[in-house]
């Protein structure tokens, strides 16, 4: 068993026909989250300015007897999932997907069961072989890598954290954490020292000598996370790591990921079918449906400006005021706007602005930059418009960055 190369690990839906329902069901209502502010947004440089780690262009993964023909035949490529299956026996799990995962971001792949999330993320390290398209990591052609180079990629550069922790039952926590380093050939003393360091990082001090069976689910997942971190990969890939955990533990683990990301700024790709989790963790979210990326954007963009009726329906129950910032909701300042009302940074949420305005008794809040310069104003009407879903969010360059737009 190895999560280093991950070959023995498979998600519940891998290879399980019947998880593809063809027609996409309606999304489940979301749990009402407390604060959905993008975790790294405030301090990080613009995501669009960072170099890509993974770059995907026109990537396809088709399962079935005529797989290779589908991407190259416009008539077949245009069929909906049910028609494609009926005509060819094939499932296009990933359809013509293009995007960049940028250095230091938490890139969330979200979608309902069967939308292609696991297949897509497994294609990144060729645990599943893409059918066609282009894929690079740090500019290097992943599809041209030989076995040795691929193994290196999986062991050193991109580590996977799975839902089923894949821990070795007869080994201690410390030796489980050290496992990836052992595969890399690191000497025992050195790898145990490194593992001990990482155990501390994920809050497992004192449990080093326990066996996995003596740990709770949350603790086991921490071991899985520590094992992936121990090899110091450039990218962490999470495949629904927390979906088996109960809600409170799950929340703890999400906080853990946010904290680790704040500390290390490691690039993370995180699969989830849970919108609340996606909004909480993601710098950007790729929302998948039937193998396609139907929208790619920040949580604020997805909630504030859904690309189509499907996305709108998906985010319908999200408390918009907790996601949308005053930077997006503000209007230009007019005469007399400059001197009254509380001051807010553009990254403050509408919810925070409502509270600030209510406390101040003023009619509006002023949105100011770091030096106190007035950027705009959010008045009561604007704030209510966001809550009611009637406010129009401004178009930004990043909002138009969908998979297809990149080609
Ligand atoms: N080995 C396979 N052979 C045939 N079809 C497959 C295979 N693996 C996945 N599929 C199909 O590809 C589609 C996408 O599956 P995938 O597991 O990537 O979805 P997912 O979004 O990760 O779903 P879940 O959230 O349930 O894990 C589904 O229709 C699935 O049935």
CATH number for the domain including 346? 3.10.580.10
Q: How close are the terminal C-alpha atoms of the chain, in Å?
A: 38
Task: Give the pLDDT score at 217.
Answer: 84
Among 116, 241, 274, the mutation site with the greatest number of ligand 1 atoms within 8 A of its Cβ is 116
Q: Which of 233, 184, 188, 224 is nearest to 204 (CA)?
A: 224
Q: Answer yes or no: do 181 and 216 share one domain.
A: yes
* Structure tokens, 402: 């969908």
Whole-prediction pTM value?
0.80
Q: Answer yes or no: do 315 and 355 share one domain.
A: no
Q: Answer yes or no: do 213 and 357 share one domain.
A: no
Residue 93 Cα to ligand 1 midpoint, Å, equals: 6
Q: Which domain holds residue 352?
A: 326-388
Instruction: Look at residue 232 and tell me if it is in a domain.
Output: yes
Pick the residue with more confidence: 252 or 1? 252
Instruction: Look at residue 226 and tell me if it is in a domain.
Output: yes
Helices (H), 93-169: 117-124, 147-152
Instruction: Look at residue 266 and tell me if it is in a domain.
Output: yes
Q: Answer yes or no: do 233 and 124 share one domain.
A: yes
Task: Give the pLDDT score at 394.
Answer: 65
Q: Answer yes or no: do 300 and 383 share one domain.
A: no
Instruction: Look at residue 349 and tell me if it is in a domain.
Output: yes
- Mean pLDDT, residues 263-291 taken together: 92
Task: Give the pLDDT score at 245.
Answer: 80
Q: Which residue has its alpha carbon closest to ligand 1 atom 3?
A: 15
How far, CA to CA in Å, does 325 sit from each of 41, 280, 283, 399?
A: 11, 14, 14, 15
Q: Answer yes or no: do 208 and 251 share one domain.
A: yes
Q: What percent of the chain has pLDDT over 90?
A: 48
81 lines ligand 1 (CB under 6 A): no
- Predicted confidence (pLDDT) at residue 136 exceeds the cutoff of 60: yes
Q: Answer yes or no: do 368 and 383 share one domain.
A: yes
Count helices and strands in the chain by DSSP H and E runs:
16, 13
61 lines ligand 1 (CB under 6 A): no
Q: Answer yes or no: do 311 and 362 share one domain.
A: no
Instruction: Look at residue 25 and tell me if it is in a domain.
Output: no
Q: Answer yes or no: do 311 and 331 share one domain.
A: no
pLDDT tens for 389-405 read 777 776 543 333 433 32
Among 291, 320, 349, where does a domain finish?
A: 320
Q: Answer yes or no: do 94 and 188 share one domain.
A: yes
Among 263, 286, 320, where does a domain finish?
A: 320
Instruction: Look at residue 268 and tell me if it is in a domain.
Output: yes
- Predicted confidence (pLDDT) at residue 7 exceeds the cutoff of 50: no
Read off the pLDDT band of 288 (50, 70, 90). Answer: very high
CATH number for the domain harbouring residue 197: 3.40.50.300
* Structure tokens, 184: 């890399």
Arithmetic mean of pLDDT over the chain:
83
ipTM for the predicted complex comes to: 0.98
pLDDT tens for 160-213 read 887 776 789 999 999 999 998 998 889 999 999 999 999 988 888 899 999 999
Among 281, 300, 320, where does a domain finish?
A: 320
Three-state secondary structure string covering 55-78: EEEEEEEEECCCCCHHHHCHHHHC
Task: Give the pLDDT score at 264.
Answer: 85
- Predicted confidence (pLDDT) at residue 261 exceeds the cutoff of 60: yes
Instruction: Look at residue 149 and tell me if it is in a domain.
Output: yes
Task: Give the pLDDT score at 163.
Answer: 74
Among 18, 60, 93, 120, the mutation site with the greatest number of ligand 1 atoms within 8 A of its Cβ is 93
Q: Answer yes or no: do 254 and 213 share one domain.
A: yes
What's the total number of domains in the chain?
A: 2
Task: Give the pLDDT score at 202.
Answer: 86
Which range, of 57-66, 84-93, 241-250, 371-380, averages the lowest pLDDT?
241-250
Residue 20 Cα to ligand 1 midpoint, Å, equals: 7
- Predicted confidence (pLDDT) at residue 72 exceeds the cutoff of 90: yes
Q: Answer yes or no: do 291 and 356 share one domain.
A: no
């Amino acid at each position: 068993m190895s999560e280093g190369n991950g070959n023995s690990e498979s998600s519940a839906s891998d290879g399980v026909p019947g998880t593809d329902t063809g027609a996409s069901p309606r999304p489940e209502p979301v749990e009402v989250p407390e604060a959905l502010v993008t975790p790294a947004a405030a301090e990080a440089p613009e995501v669009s300015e960072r170099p890509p780690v993974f770059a995907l262009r026109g990537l396809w993964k088709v399962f079935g007897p005529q797989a290779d023909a589908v991407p190259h035949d416009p008539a077949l490529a245009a069929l909906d999932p049910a028609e494609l299956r009926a005509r060819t026996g094939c499932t296009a799990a990933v359809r013509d997907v293009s995007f960049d995962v940028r250095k230091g971001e938490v890139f969330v792949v979200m979608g309902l069961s069967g939308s292609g999330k696991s297949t897509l993320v497994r294609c990144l390290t060729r645990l599943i072989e893409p059918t066609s398209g282009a894929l690079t990591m740090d500019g290097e052609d992943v599809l041209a890598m030989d076995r040795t180079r691929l193994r290196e990629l999986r062991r050193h550069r991109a580590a996977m954290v799975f839902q089923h922790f894949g821990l070795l039952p007869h080994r201690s926590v410390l030796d489980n954490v050290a496992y990836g380093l052992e595969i890399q050939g690191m000497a025992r003393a050195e790898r145990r020292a490194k593992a001990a360091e990482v155990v501390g990082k994920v809050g497992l001090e004192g449990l080093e000598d326990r066996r996995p069976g003596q740990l709770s689910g949350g603790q086991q997942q921490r071991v899985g996370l520590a094992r992936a971190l121990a090899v110091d990969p450039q990218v962490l890939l999470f495949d629904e790591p927390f979906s088996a955990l109960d809600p409170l533990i799950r929340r703890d683990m999400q906080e853990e990921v946010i904290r680790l990301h704040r500390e290390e700024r490691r690039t993370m790709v995180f699969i989830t079918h849970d919108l609340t989790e996606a909004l909480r963790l993601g710098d950007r979210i790729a929302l998948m449906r039937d193998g396609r990326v139907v929208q790619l954007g920040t949580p604020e963009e997805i909630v504030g400006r859904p690309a189509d009726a499907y996305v709108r329906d998906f985010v319908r129950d999200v408390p918009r005021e907790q996601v949308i910032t005053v930077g997006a909701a503000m209007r230009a300042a007019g005469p007399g706007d400059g001197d009254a009302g509380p001051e807010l940074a553009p990254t403050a949420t509408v919810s925070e602005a409502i509270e600030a305005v209510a406390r101040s008794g003023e009619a509006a809040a002023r949105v100011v930059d770091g030096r106190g310069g007035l950027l705009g104003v959010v008045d009561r009407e604007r704030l209510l418009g966001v809550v009611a879903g009637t406010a129009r969010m401004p178009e930004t360059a990043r909002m138009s960055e969908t998979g297809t737009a990149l080609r």
